[in-house]
Structure 1
Amino acid sequence: MNPELESHFDEFDKAPVIRRKLLPWWIKTFCWIFMIMGLCAIASLVINLFIPNVNLSLYGFSSNTAFSGIGAFIIAIMIFKGFAAYSLWFEKPNAISIGKIDAICGVVICIVSMFALPFVNNGHFMFRLEILLLVPYYMRLNKIEYEWDNLEIL
């Protein structure tokens, strides 16, 4: 082909490689749920300025106000989970690492809430079902990490 007639727009005709295709449907669904949850966490801070009680609960921890130690802890977790979901959905290069940290933190927090909270609150042992999704989430991210890191995004 004559170099003078070669189009410089040929690269736009290539189908883009999309990392999001590596994610299963259930992770894509939870990405949206956690992005919305992260926005709700930020909104709860603002709402709690005007309304005295904002009920927060995550991984077995709960609080009636965003401006307490437990409340700030829950808000921070929700925002981090939202950030991890955002990173995965928008195909950020470090999304898999952030997601794996999110999964590990979630498992650790669930274990603490299962074994430590019953002693503090004089309650009973309660198995956290979140672990049943956090472990496969971590395993799937671990499985797709190499391909995610080695895809070329146009």
Structure 2
Amino acid sequence: MADIPDTAESAGTRKNLIPLWIKVFGWMFLAMGVVIPLLAVFAAVTGQPASYEVFGLRYHGSPFHPMALVIAAILVSLAVSAYGLLFGKPWGVNACLVTGYGGVAICLLTMVYSLSQGTFNLRLDLLVHIPYLRKLHQIKPLWPSAAVR
């Protein structure tokens, strides 16, 4: 992971503040945010069940079931926050911090739930969330003064 420059002048643009690995994940979440509504339409038209999963939450069935809608809403919120970060929006880092901490909370809750069911489901997503949130906190003070280009 590249270090974040000490000053906004040396940082250049907001896009330069974002490490490549975060950009890759951001584009993946952006793509999922586009595919989710298409999946719902496809499933409704064909009568096929849809499968959703994020941070340990899983659902297979109608795309209009409440659990499917919750998972779809989480994926769309991840896509919106990724858009904000990737395109240098003023709210991008804060949105990613909110969805990042939300993802950690969901992972921890699904792990606790699995324990209550007599199993243990270790969420490896947390191994990515920790450096991600750390990097966002490093970027946050530089974000407002960096150029938007």
Corresponding residue for residue 83 of structure 1 = 80
Amino acid corresponding to residue 49 of structure 1 in structure 2: A
1:95-148 deviation per Cα after TM superposition (whole angstroms, max 9, x unaligned): 0100000100000000011111443xx351111011111111111011011111
Pair 1:29-2:43 in alignment: no
Identity of aligned residues (%): 28
Aligned with 1:126: secondary structure?
coil
* Correspondent of 2:14 among 19, 29, 33: 19
Greater relative contact order (CA < 8 Å, ≥ 6 in sequence): 2
Extract structure 1 runs of 4+ deviating beyond 4 A: none
Q: Deviations over 1:3-54 (max 9, x none)?
A: xxxxxxxxxxxxxx42110011100101110000111111122122123301
Distance (Å, rounded) in 2 between the aligned partners of 1:37 and 1:58: 11
How many Å separate the matches in 2 of 1:47 and 1:125?
34
Structure 1 residues not aligned, in runs of 5+: 1-16
Matching residue of 1:55: 51
Alpha-carbon deviations, 1:58-105, whole Å to 9, x = none? 111111132112111110010001111111111100101000001000
Aligned length: 136
Instruction: Give me the whole-angstrom Cα distance separating, in 2, the residues matched to 1:123 and 1:63.
Output: 20
Quick one: distance in 2 between partners of 1:134 and 1:123?
26
Q: Which amino acid aligns with 1:28?
A: K
Q: For residue 36 of structure 2, what is the aligned residue in structure 1? A: 41
Cα distance in structure 2, aligned partners of 1:123 and 1:56: 23
CA distance in structure 2 between the partners assigned to 1:153 and 1:49 by the alignment:
40
CA RMSD of aligned residues (A): 1.4
- AA aligned opposite 1:102: T
Q: Give the TM-score of the pair, scaled to structure 1.
A: 0.83
Distance 1:153 1:56 in 2: 34
Equivalent of 1:126 in 101, 121, 129: 121
